[in-house]
Amino acid sequence: MLVVETNRYFLENSDNGHSPKREVTEAEMFVFLALTLQMGHKVQGRLEENWTKMKQLHAPFYGQAMACARYYHILRFLHFMDNNRNGVDRIDDRLWKI
């Protein structure tokens, strides 16, 4: 469901569906979720520091698993539910889609 909704949101919000970026696959979504969980166990100031090349902070795990730009792409379009589903408009409840 995450893959389907993320791809739907990507196609609806990326230059009329035409973009050089490809749609997210199920395997990529699993890697994205694993990296996100792993980041909770590591202390870094900013998200992109997980992909740093500085010797004292370098963790090759992140770069080998997924490119930083791809991680940000998935993060930008991550969606759990179709925005237009059943015409529901719940401004009062910000978590209704989750």
pLDDT of residue 82: 77
Q: What is the tens place of the pLDDT at every residue in 15-33? A: 654 556 788 999 999 999 9
What is d(CA 59, CA 4) in angstroms, rounded to the nearest whole number? 31
Task: Give me the chain's average pLDDT, please.
Answer: 80
CB atoms closer than 10 angstroms to residue 74: 22
CB atoms closer than 10 angstroms to residue 20: 6
Q: What is the tens place of the pLDDT at every residue in 71-91? A: 999 999 998 887 776 555 566
Q: What is the tens place of the pLDDT at every residue in 45-75? A: 777 888 888 877 777 888 889 998 999 999 9
What is d(CA 3, CA 28) in angstroms, rounded to the nearest whole number? 9
pLDDT of residue 74: 93
Sign of CA dihedral 8, 12, 14, 18: positive
| Cβ pair 21, 14 in contact under 8 A | yes
One-letter amino acid identity for 16? Answer: N
> Which structure tokens are listed for 66?
């997924």
